[in-house]
Structure 1
Amino acid sequence: MRVTRIIADLRVADVEAAKSFYTHYLGLSTEEFNMGWVARYTSPDTGANVQLVTRDAAAPEDPVISVLTEDVDGAYAEAQELGYEIVHPLTTEPWGVRRFFVRAPDGTVINVVRHRD
């Protein structure tokens, strides 16, 4: 798999309550999106970012990181061939991303995703 970007997914109780710390104090002032249960904040100066997640709206477990790739279908096939546990099947979500969740051998749940063009 060719990884193009990795984003930390931080579990928070309430996105709006946590927003001020990340946007004001850390300077991640650009809100790339906010779906209520997940929001991404980015520094306009450096591009550093984080996603705040309360609970994944469509999957049975929450990921720790989101790994972006251009070939999510290929990554899914490779994960299956290698025998890794698929936590959430390859799905095109209603909000437009195509993704699956895989459990790393250490137990970490990873969201492997391709954003729409």
Structure 2
Amino acid sequence: MSSTNLVSIRIITADIKRLVQFFEAATQITAKWFTEDFAELQSKSFTLAIGSTKTLAFFGEGIAEPSTNKSIIIEFFVENVDDDYRRIKELTHEIVQEPTTMPWGNRSLLFRDPDGNLINFFTPVSDEAKKKFA
């Protein structure tokens, strides 16, 4: 039996510099640029890759379209979502949900990046949620 591991999420954008700068400020992680059209933000637990629309030429026409996502939420576990909220509301005017404790035990902040992708910063607050992420 083979093993499958999710190693990264890639966002395609028409304005890579703007999006990379946004995620650097939001996550407080410095991006590593591989080319002027491709960068990654790496932590111990994830890699967020950001590619310009020019990178789509390697895959073929019509493969992805920037700024059209309405079905995926990119989620980040953060130490204190209320502290991050103060910083995030300075980065975007598109706060979808201020920090709210959800029924499953996470305190959640939903906002959109400059391309409209939905981002969730969350902190486990219930005992059960804390155990899940321990």
Q: TM-score range by the shorter chain?
A: 0.3 to 0.5
Structure with greater Cα Rg? 2
Q: Given the two structures, how large is their TM-score scaled by the length of structure 1?
A: 0.45
Higher helix share: 2
Report which of the two has the higher share of strand: 1
> What TM-score do the two structures reach when normalised by structure 2?
0.40
